[in-house]
């Protein structure tokens, strides 16, 4: 059961269409035209190395977001204690702990 990509020649709307044995001919969902151009689709390739690369990229993204969050919390604490206590003793003993 292939999925084809089309672009309407009337309104330029692009869409995907799942072709089944009993499917009616594709038509544009926007303008209901059947004057369509079938587009060449990119294929997806998956292997253990691409899955590992995607997982590593996701881990880096999460780590970066965690680092940003911790940096913001740390900055907030510095601003809070500098405004409030007046002396550096209050925040000298405070340790920022992040969630893993």
The per-residue pLDDT for range 34-78, each reduced to its tens digit, is 999 988 877 767 788 888 888 899 999 999 999 999 999 999 988
Structural domain includes residue 52: no
Number of domains in the chain: 2
User: Would the pLDDT of 8 be above 90?
Assistant: yes
| Residue 8 in domain | yes
Task: Please check whether residue 44 lies inside any domain of the structure.
Answer: no
100 with 68, same domain: the answer is yes
Residue 92 lies in a domain: yes
What is the pTM for the complete model shown? 0.40
Residue 55 lies in a domain: no
Classify residue 90: in a domain, yes or no.
yes
Which residues touch 33 (CB under 8 Å, ≥6 apart)?
8, 9, 10, 11, 27
CA distance 75 to 93: 15
Percent of the chain with pLDDT over 70: 79
Neighbours of 76 (CB within 10 A): 11
Tell me the pLDDT band of 80, cut-offs 50, 70 and 90. Answer: confident
Within-domain flag for 14 = yes
C-beta separation of 27 from 7 below 8 A: no
- The domain containing residue 28 runs over which residues? 3-39
Same domain membership, residue 99 and residue 65: yes
Six token digits for residue 6: 């089309």
34 and 65 belong to one structural domain: no
> Could you tell me if residue 35 is inside a domain?
yes
């Amino acid at each position: 059961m292939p999925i084809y990509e089309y672009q309407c020649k009337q309104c330029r709307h692009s869409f995907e269409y799942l072709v089944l044995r009993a499917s009616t001919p594709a038509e544009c969902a926007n303008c209901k035209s059947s004057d369509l151009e079938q587009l060449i689709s990119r294929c997806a390739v998956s292997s253990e190395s691409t899955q590992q690369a995607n997982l590593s990229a996701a881990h880096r993204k999460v780590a970066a977001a965690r680092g940003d969050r911790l940096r913001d919390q740390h900055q907030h604490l510095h601003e809070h204690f500098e405004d409030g206590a007046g002396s550096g003793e209050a925040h000298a003993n405070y340790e920022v702990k992040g969630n893993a």
